Chains A and B, each alone.
Chain A
Amino acid sequence: MTKKVLEINDLKINFKTYAGVVQAVRGVSFELFEGETLAIVGESGSGKSVTSNAIMKLIPQPPGIYAGGEILFEGRDLVPLTEKQMAKVRGNDIAMIFQDPMTALNPTMRVGRQITEVILKHQKISATEAKDRAIKLLDLVGIPMAEKRFKQFPHEFSGGMRQRVVIAIALAADPKLLIADEPTTALDVTIQAQILELMKDIQKKRNTSIIFITHDLGVVANVADRVAVMYAGQIVEYGTVNDIFYNPKHPYTWGLLGSMPDLKNNAKEELRTIPGSPPDLIHPPTGDAFAPRNEYAMAIDYEQEPPMFQVSDTHFAKTWLLHPSAPQILVPESVSRRIEGYLKEAQQNGK
């Protein structure tokens, strides 16, 4: 098996607010291997961004509190590290790409300097060498006329080109792990497709591991090797991309898949919705946090939190429906029909 880059065990993050303590992340565990992409999906407020910011130790303390668990990067726990030690990890080992490329870049600084700044901070090389490397990076991320672009300001770039610059900065110190927090959400679909291609291309060349945070299931299907579905601060389903899309087990995942229109099978029926809204994480509900929105909820869902049930070697889901004595609930018809359609087409394409 390939090398394990990151291992998170039972991570808990709280925030102190006037209204009370918000339990934003409530015991998240996952691992990430070299050259692999893990997608974290979930709605706003599910804790996916807090989890990724926690890995970079970007949670402001206070109000944030690391309430438990460990973040092992190549075997070393990042949680107890000081800010000074962490500064060496950031950029060098782990780098981050943010959603909005306009706010991530400094508008008063030439693009070139924003890249060389990172290189010079982490490596002992001369300014001219750094410049050469920065131009190579701009070239790598697909910016034409890199030499000329090097001297320009962010406002002279389009949205897609800015995001390429942000990626170039993230890659400047050759990190092993790249965390991308909704990197394409602010971009047009055609530009999104280019950025996704770029990230996959870079991953292939450098064997980088990627954590990709998004709420767009289409993007997940495109980039991910494995998927973690988050709800109310916990991972509720975890598996390979095929497990999650073709054999979903958690009713929340069914809801997410069903709420996207089915373009291929041409269905015009009403979209499945997940009724209600996510729970208040100051007072997380007892039992399964998803129960009030779950049409298949059983009595036990309101009393006891379900454990992670193992579906296969790679596939886990946190729902009482997988308990041997639970009633047999099948995937809702609109979702299963769609999956069958996809699989049939894949077969015809000779897969």
Chain B
Amino acid sequence: MANKLLEVKDLKQYFGAAGNPIKAVDGISFDIYEGETLGLVGESGCGKSTTGRSIIRLYDITDGEVLFKGRNIHASKSRKELKEFNREMQMIFQDPYASLNPRMTAGEIISEGFDIHGLYKDKKERKERIAELLEAVGLNREHANRYAHEFSGGQRQRIGIARALSLSPSFIIADEPISALDVSIQAQVVNLLKKLQREHKLTYLFIAHDLSMVKYISDRIAVMYRGKIVELGKADEIYENPIHPYTKSLLSAVPLPDPLTERIRKRIPYSHEETDEAGKLHEVLPTHFVYGTESQIKKWL
């Protein structure tokens, strides 16, 4: 298997008072390998977005470690180290209306990172790079002078992607990048993300609640529930052979564009079962992990 690009070890992210914190992320561990797409799914409030934001240092983590190419992200303190890390890791946000500054042109949005990192100081060179990025995401070079409101939702998301690509990162966190878009536009953006991954050898953490798109784009999937990863494995494996009752319930709730199946589909309800201190991720099958105690796992298998 490929090298580990990112290692998350017992990551905890608590909010609120120290006495009674909200445990948004409660001790999760996983690795992301070079060139793969890891899908992170779960309901709203399960901690999936917080996980993404903690990894990229938008929050100061409560406990645990995040290693990127073997180096602890949250320990690096010097400005130089941080800058270097910021170039390597970028984020695409959910809402293409809120994540673009309305007072900046597309070109300015895309090139903001160049100023910060002192790149492409030559004007012509910079213009060329902006055009190249716009074309890479399926827009054209004339779009550089337009403002965000002049674009449709799908086009805005493309600008967000171009911005994420501008510093040639190796790792991109995509936080619900398609949920605000129409179905046909979603497909355009997903195809684009896949194409860029092939061309630039990118690694993705793809955060979403839409299971069908996650399964399509991901190599492996992690299912989160109440701040914990309850199941982790290859995308097909999770989909065809879910073991944790929460994953089963989640999968049974996804409606398919197939009326005959829909008529006979039965949703599996989930009632939460506390897992005590002894709970951990067990490798029940090769590369397929399930969270629980020994006895719970036995019961679920």
Contact = CB atoms under 8 A, between A and B. Distances in A.
Interface of A: 43-44, 159, 188-194, 196-197, 215-222, 224, 241-242, 245-246, 255-261, 263-264, 266, 268, 270-274, 277, 342-343, 345-346, 349, 351
Contact of B255 (A191, A194, A216): A216
Given A188-B209, A349-B261, 7 more contacts: A189-B254, A190-B253, A190-B267, A218-B254, A222-B262, A263-B256, A264-B258
Contact of A260 (B44, B236, B257): B257
17 contacts: A43-B184, A44-B153, A188-B43, A189-B250, A190-B253, A192-B255, A194-B267, A222-B255, A222-B259, A260-B257, A263-B212, A263-B239, A264-B256, A270-B191, A273-B184, A274-B187, A349-B260
A260 B183 contact: yes
A292 to B, nearest CB: 14
**B182, B259, B264 pick with most chain A CB within 10 angstroms:** B259
Contacts of A258: 187
Interface string B242-283: 000000011011111111111011010010000000000000
B267 A343 contact: no
B251 to A, nearest CB: 9
B194 interface: yes
Contacts of B184: 43, 255-256, 259, 273-274
Contact of A189 (B185, B209, B265): B209
A245 B253 contact: no
3 cross-chain pairs, A with B, having the tightest CB-CB distances, nearest first = A218-B255, A261-B216, A259-B187
Contacts of B43: 188-191
Given A221-B256, A270-B194, A345 B270 contact: no
Interface in B207-257: 209, 211-213, 215-216, 236, 239, 249-250, 252-257
A258 B257 CA distance: 10
B197 to A, nearest CB: 13
Nearest to B190: A271
Given A190-B253, A256-B183, A346 B260 contact: yes
A261 B178 CA distance: 13
B76 interface: no
Interface of B: 43-44, 152-154, 182-188, 190-191, 194, 209, 211-213, 215-216, 236, 239, 249-250, 252-262, 264-265, 267, 270
A174 to B, nearest CB: 27
B257 A193 contact: no
Q: Looking at chain A's contact residues, is the secondary structure mostly helix, strand, loop, or mixed? A: helix
**A263, A274, A345 pick with most chain B CB within 10 angstroms:** A263
Given A260-B212, A273-B191, A190 B258 contact: no
**A43, A224, A261 pick with most chain B CB within 10 angstroms:** A261
A351 B258 CA distance: 13
B257 A43 contact: no
B259 A245 contact: yes
Nearest to B189: A273
A219 B239 CA distance: 19
Given A188-B209, A242-B259, A273-B188, A259 B253 contact: no
A96 B276 CA distance: 45
A261 B259 contact: no
A189 B211 contact: yes
Contacts of A266: 236
A241 B250 contact: no
Contacts of B249: 190
A257 B257 contact: yes
A224 B257 CA distance: 11
Contacts of B187: 258-260, 271-274
Contact of B154 (A270, A271, A272, A277): A277
A273 B192 CA distance: 11
Contact of A271 (B182, B191, B252, B264): B191
